[in-house]
């Protein structure tokens, strides 16, 4: 349930509603908009009996049942777009952000060189995995903490914030020490202990949609993070598994406007994993921006044929730089900036 306060509700009236919610043993989440305050009620609402008990409190305009299973992630609870700070930009505002870098951190030189190249081309943030979720245990698993140290060096050289994956709850504190944004990978979208740990960390999170998960499940996963009071959260559409084999995944372009309509969270598109082939990355990236994505995350490698992971979908820096120019034109066509 959400409680919509009257436009001029006082702090005292808001506190009284929160106190009532907590007295019943439920949690209250405050969302202060420009025009009015909305209070989300989280927990077993049967404890209320009659919901109108809240509607009768001073300063309350009305209460509303939220019919979907996620609440804090819903537009109803938070009508305004959530803005997530990233390198002086606000993800979710007018500027479309570009996160770029290799799939994996492979060496100190590699990540620093790539960081300089993507910065030069106009990237907002640097991506690179130090802990890699690989389908085969025999594939390169990432450099671990050594990779995080190289990422931190690359940040020092370029000033670009770092987006990197964390795969297990126990590593959240370590990855937080180095990363500006914790990436929760597609395969871990429903790793609930990891979602809880990322929520508790209060660190910025990029949550990727699982390859076989619905948008509703993605929003439920987001709800775990939000339920810890962490709303520095971005969603990411990175393609889903279908019967199609000519691309690695099927880019669900629909997810962008649908998630933007149902949720207040920024939506980032990952055209690299969505297509799996560098030739198609540009088309998917431009389509994503036209469809309303707040940013893109894409893989760039100095030497894709030698990449230790995802070379086939990695752009060379020159191609990436050209694509940034094209994406900028699309962004401007839909009244955004890049
Ligand atoms: C990645 O970003 O390199 C990655 C493994 O992505 P995903 O979790 O979307 O497969
Ligand atoms: Mn990858």
pLDDT for residue 42: 86
Residues 28, 174, single domain; the answer is: no
Query: Ligand 1: does its nearest atom lie under 6 Å from the Cβ of 209?
Result: no
Residues 24, 138, single domain; the answer is: no
Give the span between the Cα atoms of 299 and 279, in whole angstroms.
12
Q: Which residues contact 121 (CB under 8 A, 6 or more apart)?
A: 100, 317, 320, 321, 324
**Ligand 1 center to 209 CA (angstroms):** 10
Where does the pLDDT of residue 45 fall: very low under 50, low under 70, confident under 90, or very high at 90 and above?
confident
Residues 11, 141, single domain; the answer is: no
Query: Ligand 1: does its nearest atom lie under 6 Å from the Cβ of 112?
Result: no
pLDDT for residue 226: 96
Dihedral angle over CA of 202, 205, 207, 208, nearest 10: -160
Residues 166, 58, single domain; the answer is: no
- Mutating to test ligand 1, I would choose from 273, 284, 298 the residue with most ligand atoms within 8 A of its C-beta, which is 273
Residues 121, 29, single domain; the answer is: no
pLDDT for residue 50: 62
Q: How many domains does the chain have?
A: 2
- Mutating to test ligand 1, I would choose from 163, 179, 185 the residue with most ligand atoms within 8 A of its C-beta, which is 185
Q: Are strands 125-127 and 2-5 parallel, antiparallel or unpaired?
A: unpaired
Give the span between the Cα atoms of 133 and 168, in whole angstroms.
11
Instruction: Report yes or no on 71 lying in a domain.
Output: no
pLDDT for residue 32: 87
49 vs 312, residue with greater confidence: 312
Extract the runs of DSSP E, i.e. beta strands, from 143-290.
162-165, 181-184, 204-208, 233-237, 267-269
pLDDT for residue 67: 80
Average pLDDT over residues 74-103: 96
Cβ-contact 17, 9 below 8 angstroms: no
Query: Ligand 1: does its nearest atom lie under 6 Å from the Cβ of 266?
Result: no
Residues 118, 243, single domain; the answer is: yes
Where does the pLDDT of residue 326 fall: very low under 50, low under 70, confident under 90, or very high at 90 and above?
very high
Give the span between the Cα atoms of 53 and 42, in whole angstroms.
16
Residues 99, 25, single domain; the answer is: no
Instruction: Report yes or no on 76 lying in a domain.
Output: no
Residues 28, 96, single domain; the answer is: no
pLDDT greater than 80 at residue 48? no
pTM score, two decimals?
0.95
Query: Ligand 1: does its nearest atom lie under 6 Å from the Cβ of 208?
Result: yes
Give the span between the Cα atoms of 170 and 39, in whole angstroms.
32
Query: Ligand 1: does its nearest atom lie under 6 Å from the Cβ of 186?
Result: yes
Domain span at residue 249 reads 84-333
Query: Ligand 1: does its nearest atom lie under 6 Å from the Cβ of 273?
Result: yes
Q: What number does the ligand 1 atom closest to the CA of 104 have? A: 3
Instruction: Report yes or no on 231 lying in a domain.
Output: yes
pLDDT tens digits, one per residue of 141-153? 999 999 999 999 9
Average pLDDT over residues 116-138: 97
Determine what percent of the chain is predicted with pLDDT higher than 90. 90
Residues 49, 98, single domain; the answer is: no
pLDDT tens digits, one per residue of 180-194? 999 999 999 999 999
**Ligand 2 center to 91 CA (angstroms):** 22
pLDDT for residue 214: 98
Residues 313, 216, single domain; the answer is: yes
Instruction: Report yes or no on 28 lying in a domain.
Output: yes
Instruction: Report yes or no on 75 lying in a domain.
Output: no
- Mutating to test ligand 1, I would choose from 208, 239, 240 the residue with most ligand atoms within 8 A of its C-beta, which is 208
Closest CA to 259 of 295, 215, 214: 215
Residues 59, 91, single domain; the answer is: no
Query: Ligand 1: does its nearest atom lie under 6 Å from the Cβ of 185?
Result: yes
pLDDT for residue 33: 83
pLDDT greater than 60 at residue 298? yes
pLDDT for residue 53: 83
Tell me the pLDDT of the chain averaged across its residues: 96
């Amino acid at each position: 349930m959400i409680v919509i306060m009257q436009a001029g509700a006082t702090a005292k009236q808001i506190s009284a509603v929160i106190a009532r919610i907590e007295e019943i043993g439920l949690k209250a989440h405050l969302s202060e908009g420009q025009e009015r305050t909305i209070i989300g009620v989280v927990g077993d609402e049967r404890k209320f009996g009659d919901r109108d008990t809240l509607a009768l409190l001073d300063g309350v305009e009305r209460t509303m049942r939220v019919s979907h299973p996620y609440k804090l992630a819903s537009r109803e609870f938070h009508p305004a777009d959530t803005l997530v700070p990233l390198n002086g930009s606000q993800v979710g505002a007018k500027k479309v952000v570009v996160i770029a870098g290799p799939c994996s951190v492979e060496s100190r030189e590699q990540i620093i060189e790539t960081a300089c190249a993507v910065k030069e081309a106009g990237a907002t943030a640097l991506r690179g995995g130090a802990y890699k979720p690989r389908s085969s245990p025999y594939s390169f698993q990432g450099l671990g903490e050594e990779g995080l140290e190289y990422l931190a060096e690359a940040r020092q050289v370029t000033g670009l914030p770092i987006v990197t994956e964390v795969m297990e709850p126990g590593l959240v504190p370590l990855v937080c020490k180095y990363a500006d944004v914790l990436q929760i990978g597609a395969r871990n979208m429903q790793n609930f202990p990891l979602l809880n740990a990322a929520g508790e960390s209060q660190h910025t999170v990029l949550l990727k949609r699982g390859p076989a998960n619905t948008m509703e499940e993605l929003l439920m996963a987001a709800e775990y993070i939000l339920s810890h009071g962490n709303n520095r959260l971005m969603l990411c559409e990175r393609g889903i598994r279908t019967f199609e084999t000519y691309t690695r995944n099927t880019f669900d372009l629909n997810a962008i406007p649908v998630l933007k309509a149902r949720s207040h969270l920024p939506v980032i598109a990952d055209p690299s994993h969505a297509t799996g082939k560098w030739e198609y990355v540009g088309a998917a990236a431009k389509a994503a921006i036209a469809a309303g994505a707040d940013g893109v995350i894409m893989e760039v490698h100095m030497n894709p044929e030698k990449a230790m992971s995802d070379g086939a979908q990695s752009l060379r820096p020159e191609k990436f730089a050209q694509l940034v120019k094209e994406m900028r034109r699309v962004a401007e066509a839909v009244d955004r900036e890049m």
